[in-house]
Amino acid sequence: MNYLAHLFLAESNPGSLLGSLLGDFVKGPLGNDFSKEILEGIVTHRKIDSFTDSHSIVIESKKLISQPRRRYAGIIIDVSFDHLLAKNWSDHSNEGLSAFIERVNRVLIDHIHLLPEKLKLIIPRMVAENWLGTYKTVEGIGTILDRISGRLTNGNKMYGAVSELEFNYEKLEQNFKVFLPELMAFVEVFRNDNS
């Protein structure tokens, strides 16, 4: 799952929201550099990634990606599933997507001093360019995937990967609608077991 899904699955407190993003930026053992809530968010992020990467529906979804881009299938599916979450947001949340994004952006800006340098550089652009809002459209997903391809070694092979979402849209949406409730249940059980 990508940024939007991790934030959606976070608890509503600022620490959990920050930790849900930090999972992509903090590697290795966790020390005492962060608050308890942020650390819990990072650990939850890692558990979500592990559950997602090993789930049969996600593995099946990756096989839909064409051979030339198969190497990037994980990224393409993660971003595509964020799109499907944004598209079907009201099925999973009582808070509107725009209100959620506004709340998250406020937390990120208000707590930017707690973030590592790499993320501090990203957050202002993320908010100004409404990255989370762009997940709602296929065109926005195209921009996101092309931006990611520009940061990868040999990423030019991933350029234009939005076509993978477009070509497999119906099947990916079916898979997502089965997968997300299972992921949400997993996160709830994980939190209950660790509270």
Query: Does residue 103 contact residue 88 with C-beta atoms inside 8 Å?
Result: no
What is the C-alpha to C-alpha distance for residues 162 and 146, in angstroms, rounded to an integer? 8
The whole domain housing 26 covers 3-193
- How many whole angstroms separate alpha carbon 56 and alpha carbon 51? 10
Average pLDDT, stretch 154-174? Answer: 92
- For the chain, the domain total comes to 1
Contacts of 159 by beta carbon, 8 Å cutoff, 6+ apart: 146, 149, 150
pLDDT of residue 155: 62
Mean pLDDT within 56-83: 96
Least confident of 25-39, 109-123, 156-170: 25-39
